[in-house]
Amino acid sequence: MPNGSGFVRFLYNKFSDLLAEAMNPTDAQSYLGKIHSTHHQGNCKDACYECLKVFRNMNYHSLLDWRLGLSMMRILNDSTYKCGADGIFNQHVELNGWLEFATSLRKGFAESFGMRTVDVVQGLPIIKWHARDKNVILIVHPFWDMKNMREANWIAEIKNELGEYTRSRGGKLSIVDTFNLHRRPGWCYEKLVRNG
């Protein structure tokens, strides 16, 4: 009905079909099909008027992100999905190009704040800074739980390796995700560098 009643029941009854359609749209010309299109992937870093932005959600525009939305739905739809934590970035539309995106954010951040040593560890972009490059900033996906690592995977290896590196120099390892780095680099700088 126009006032919205019935939507929840419809969602409840059709939830798995709707999720499947959101993951793999059957019609390339539909709203979902257009979100998945290579044109949209190439032109929309977070949200635009083709996907999530409308006038009424203007207050939230800076928070919207179609890739994270799709990742969230895929988590509900597929229990084996690891959102890149398995090192797979080329099998899901929302993760295509994430490493490149993270690397370009790293470049902008390092340049803005005069940090000259940038590097890559097993594919993940990092910044080294301060005397003897003793501190490290590691850039990760916002859905990765970096505090409670439950698997001895490649990300845990990177974290351990960088932890050892910074400890041996009396420095610190900071972790920042691309959601924050993209939206509020100044806040990241305050948090990571100024306030430690």
Footprint of Zn ion (CB under 5 A): 44, 48, 50-51
The β-bridge partners of 177 are 140
Question: b or e along 29-65 (b: 16 or more beta carbons within 10 Å of the residue's beta carbon)?
Answer: eeebeebbbeebbeebebbeeebbbeeeeeeeeeebb
Residue 43 Cβ vs Zn ion, minimum distance, rounded to whole Å: 7
- Residue of minimal Cβ distance to Zn ion: 44
Residue 16 Cβ vs Zn ion, minimum distance, rounded to whole Å: 25
- Considering the complex, state which of residue 48 and residue 149 has its C-beta at the smaller distance from Zn ion: 48
Which residue, 120, 114, 150, 151, is CA-closest to 138? 120
- Considering the complex, state which of residue 48 and residue 72 has its C-beta at the smaller distance from Zn ion: 48
- Considering the complex, state which of residue 51 and residue 176 has its C-beta at the smaller distance from Zn ion: 51
- Considering the complex, state which of residue 23 and residue 44 has its C-beta at the smaller distance from Zn ion: 44
Order of strands across the sheet that contains 173-177 = 117-121, 124-129, 135-140, 173-177
Residue 191 Cβ vs Zn ion, minimum distance, rounded to whole Å: 28
